[in-house]
Structure 1
Amino acid sequence: MNGKRLVCIDDEADVRQFICDAAEMAGFETRQSCDADRFMEICEEFDPNIVVIDLQMPDVDGVELLRHLAQQHVKYQILLVSGVDTRILDTACRLGEDLGLPMIGWVQKPIALKKLENLISGKDATGFEICEATVKAGLEKGQFVNHYQPKIARTPYGTWTIQGCEALLRWYHPTQGTIMPNAFFPVIETHPVMMDITEFVLENALGQLKDWERAGLDIQMAVNLSPTIFHSLALPDIIDGMLKCHDIAGDRLILEVTESTAMEDSSKVMDILTRFRLKSFGLSIDDFGTGYSSLKQLYRMPFNELKVDRSFVENLKTDRESQIIVRSIIELAQNLELSVCIEGVETEEVMLMVDAMGCDKVQGFFISPPLPADQFFRLAQEWSYGDEILARASYPT
């Protein structure tokens, strides 16, 4: 199968064909559909790099489809097309980004061929392309920076305090502005520069952690690890060397690994995860609930934290099923002596609910979005003196 694959969903046959013809000229293998259910089947079978979605379909609109794709945690890049006003297209694209989808932009109908070609080939109007070379150049030019999102933990008194943070990468490009990870990670994950990016995030996060320690702020740092870097058995030693270089104890670092990576039936993955724990690193299963792990697998793996996926939190206020799932995950994890972090908490009402359910840690925009290092430090200082987000509340469970 071709390495470049594109799927188009549009109710107009001539538009679908036009898009697919342009993609094939750019070296893509293509599939197309006018039906949302068939579109999802094709995506599952065909494993595309890019999907092109019409915002206005007879049976399902593009926004509904974006919401569904976000719940599926798809990795392919998404391009929107429609004849609606450009402001609506722009808003829909931002919505997709807010949902965590890797949006690459939009094209208004009638479709301008050059803009379509630029977007599906990863270029903008100036010829900029997100690829291994531009990411590597961005690293060399100092265009990447970590932001830090607070993680709060329950105190013995039932209140909450900042216990740590998660390092999240941002690319500040001089002509493209801020480029979020979901725009470039899918492009570089299988290339050697992914390890360079990982080492950059770790090195800067640990250096920042040491600076905060000297300033009197004692917290943990969480860093995400891509599944594609688990090919090297030397990974635990590389990270351990960074910690020693900064004179930081292993238990100050939490490594977040996706559930699908954690449950992979591989002796190499098990080897690496076990050595992480032997070196006292914290290990967290990220996006828990989106994979297919069994209780036996969960029990066998050397994790000490479990992060409940945000898809269960989005509808927690109104969806009884989500409430049952989150409560069950918390109970299961705590019975296995794992701490539980709920991510994606964006309102006080949801905060009160997960608090009453007994979770150990919380992360989300209700507490704070990811912040530059200086802003995070100021926020953490305020909390370190005992200010509370809220007292443990009585909320029906």
Structure 2
Amino acid sequence: MRLSTRIGSVGLIAVLAGTNACSTPPPDLSVLPPTAIAAISFGGMIIGGKAGRVVTVVIDAVGAEVGRFTGRRDDRGGAVAVPGTLITTTGTDAITVDGTRKSVTPFEMTATSWGEAATTDRAVTWWARDTSRYVLSRPGASPVVGELPTAIVAAGFCGDKAFALAGDWRTNHSSISSGVGLYELRGNPRRIGDAEFAEFAEFPDNRLVCDADGVTLHAIGRSSRGARGGRATLHSYNSRDARRTVRTVDIPEAANRLFGLTAIGDRLFRLDSTHKVWSVPMRGGTVARKVWQGRQNDPRYLMVASGDRAVEVRHLAPPTYSEFDLATGRRLVGPLPLPWLPGVIADDVWVLGATAIPRPAKP
């Protein structure tokens, strides 16, 4: 995901280098192939001599390209998936595709922040500036589109409901400081209540995750006034009335945007920009532990959280794709060679995000 978590998956871009841009790209997919296991989003693609395109490439279990989605000239994009369904942002559109259909939702704005979040069977993708536009997706159903009159800063799920914290941006668009509310996201969003929010606070993960109690939403934040190397804060919101509790947790703040916050059991797992995975209890304790370390500060690799997995893309020769168990660091997939990658990247092309695509449960 942005490389949600992808983000993806939301703001930081890893720069690629390469040659031999693709001059005759294959046609875009109209459905998601049953062999798809993952998707990787790029910005700045050279397509037919036109630079700056956002492209999401879908791969199979041996790393071969099985299709792609081509967007507009932009440097914003990402991907998130739930079983059998992929949601990717390509420039200013959100594309939702499964095994039988494809829908395209224009965001109709130039975003200063964007993100995505998913649970086991539902996903939300959003773009924000002074207002927000979001798309709710789940397998077997048409996407639901909604808007907020203010900017989303973090979103996620509790059960089958999607929630967001939203408020007024500061001038640098990196945090919000006034008019903050907790919303339930649906076709017609519902404001649950005013959300307490520390002045100049920000949530680098852009993510709300649900407690095992099915009611409490957690987000890890920091103060934009805080010194580099300071400690993080865990913000917990009651999804019924927006009441908040805050405690300091012993996770060093990464200098850059983080790459995913996920709930597994009764703990939160956080993948930071140096490929460290941290774990902290949702309740009570304040001490976080470093669970495992990916390829530390290696610019040849992009690593993001995708559900309960960490997805890794090596984007310089030899390019590869891998998946790891987020809670343990155990390799689950790969490294899969990506022989098509040097043929589609060029100078000033960026990896925007990646996601594993869970397969639907067999009946």
Q: Structure 1-normalised TM-score?
A: 0.28
* Superposition TM-score, scaled by structure 2 size: 0.30
